[in-house]
Structure 1
């Protein structure tokens, strides 16, 4: 199973959309358990995957290295804002299977949300880690908000070269906080533009396959198309409460890493719980389970499903983006199947992700 290990709750950026709240009355700023405590819990799982998370986990590089030295894991994953990647020792850098770097698209969009100069610092640092021997999956992880043009920003990131990314994923800046729509001038109009951009981006994706005989690594498209091609019936794709859990700085175990303040999200702790007793303690609820695309979507987000911070109306508006995405991919499924039959691309190209690498698939 996948374990998000929250190394610290502080961050070295203050992004406009971020809800990170390092309030010590909710959870300690830094870990209060010992690495031996963590090891005792995680190694009860025969095939653990450890994802280092924050805050910004690279503010605690020595702690991360100590965990990697002491705790056996099948894979190591890192989610980072990228500003401190140049401080990673190549010995540990090469141990990561996946590194996800927060970047929001073009320079002007990234720097607007994350701070002036951040875009260029990220590009310098991803070049550094490639030069130093990182050969794993490098994912651009976008937060998509009011200033985003989904077509232009995803296309920009997927076409970057030397340095570039293997895959691009995004999450919508929706349903995290209230009042609703506070980072949008007109949310309804933005949604319409976003949906048009998704349609255009799918056409680009198909054209790239036809012309270059290669499937661009656009994660939501890959993950959903994989399910359509293999006739998969999925549950909550992020795995929260199923095969993915977060370990807080106090040692509590959460289904979802972003919500330590909610009782429904707390499943146990590393001192008294066993990994194998965690799955199934919490599940997605209505209206998701009755939705006509539930078997493809799996329920967009456990946190949003439980809290509905934008009310039923806001929740349904966001759901329409998922339905649009799925329906547009269903339209191009025959073209993809034909390209597979013709040998232009391979069905194996859609087998992504091969394990839970922290990309939620559904934006």
Structure 2
């Protein structure tokens, strides 16, 4: 095969500098301008012998011009994710709620009972009997602390049923109902606690409001600090992660990170809002330049933190759950991903009637029901083939193995088709990848030891399966 026929190389520029990227092995090098234009035009006739020698050397060593892929990180996951909302209602009226304040559950039965909860546990233990690691998520679709009695019953049942398995439990709350009684229950069952907080009081109260329109920040912050300062609770419960939704109204990702770190959260998960195209909070072509500016600021913040060996500041947002942090992590560790998340493959959301969906976001969309815990012994695998090598727009994209593809629900929201990626999402991802590659390249030159230290810490963290 001729050198230019390979599909894993990509050239791009940043300012006056030119770069060559290997999309299979996540390698990036700065190249001469003449070589950049030759590769971009797919015409090597004008390059000098020295450049041609370098290209052949790279090809012969399996980099940039090769059909060999690196090992895929998420091709054979050995953990099952179970997601449910004990209560499909909420005391807030957040302006960007994709779950319609719990209204997406279209069934008459709105709450779980002990019989259904036990059936769910039995179903997943039996269906995935060879799996040892499980995760139970109370993350969306309703506010779980609206009914702490039901929550405690759920936790009790799952801890008992999964006694011979490794079960992690994650719960995200809006924080307004986080009282001492709720905290005792969460601590008793070793729950990993998260709170939805969109940064500063001003930023948070733009979208996260009560039914009467008042902001929720003060109540959230009071409850959060009461927990942090209460000596009866474990350090595990007090190690609280934060979740923030990024909208067209978000002013700065770095300010958001600094705010949440300053008040004591252990990490942050920033998520791009998922809404219909006509919503004023959605990120679209008219406001994407503002997102580019925020990404530029974030990548510079990452660069400065590593350069000054402030690794803790980086670890706060570089994780598998942060929209931007996961891209930075994958590029640092040179990881290959073929799909974005576990939805419909290893992750499942269950409703009070036992219907199984690919994830919380699809709840209420009957055509995406994969099965039911009461009657189906085999789940439909409608998303199994939707990796980046099979999705129409993704399979020819240069950054597909960093990105993993658009969120399937986001694709559905924006284009009405899980196959059709959101173009705005693609533009943001590509911009983030390019800016990050440039700065990682700079760090390799100026502070390689600090960068390697960060790389080792990330490897250790994820070998221990931390978030």
TM-score class normalised by the smaller sequence: 0.7 to 0.9
- Which secondary structure does the structure 2 equivalent of 1:198 belong to? helix
- For 2:272, the equivalent position in structure 1 comes to 172
1:1-363 alignment runs, 5 A limit: 1-21=80-100, 22=103, 25-26=106-107, 28-31=109-112, 34-44=116-126, 45=128, 46-53=132-139, 54-71=141-158, 72=162, 74-86=167-179, 87-93=181-187, 95-96=189-190, 98-115=192-209, 116-130=214-228, 131=230, 132-135=233-236, 137-151=239-253, 153-161=255-263, 164-174=264-274, 176-177=275-276, 180-184=277-281, 187-216=284-313, 217-218=316-317, 219-273=322-376, 281=384, 283-284=386-387, 285-309=391-415, 315-337=422-444, 339=447, 341-342=449-450, 345-351=453-459
Q: Which of the two has higher C-alpha Rg?
A: 2
- In structure 1, the gaps of 5 or more residues are none
1:282, distance to aligned residue in structure 2 (A):
6.0
- Which secondary structure does the structure 2 equivalent of 1:288 belong to? coil
Instruction: Work out whether residues 83 and 350 of structure 2, in 8 Å CA contact, stay in contact via their aligned partners in 1.
Output: yes
Measure the CA separation in 2 of the matches of 1:309 and 1:129. 42
1:223, distance to aligned residue in structure 2 (A):
2.1
Residues 248, 110 of structure 1: CA spacing in aligned structure 2 closer, same or farther, 3 A cutoff? Answer: same
1:274, distance to aligned residue in structure 2 (A):
5.2
Q: Relative to structure 2, which stretch is displaced further, 224-233 or 57-66?
A: 224-233
Aligned residues: 353
Residues 356, 4 of structure 1: CA spacing in aligned structure 2 closer, same or farther, 3 A cutoff? Answer: farther
Measure the CA separation in 2 of the matches of 1:275 and 1:356. 28
Give the aligned CA root-mean-square deviation in angstroms. 3.2
Residues 348, 40 of structure 1: CA spacing in aligned structure 2 closer, same or farther, 3 A cutoff? Answer: same
Higher relative contact order (CA 8 A, sep 6+): 1
- In the superposition, the TM-score normalised over structure 1's length comes to 0.84
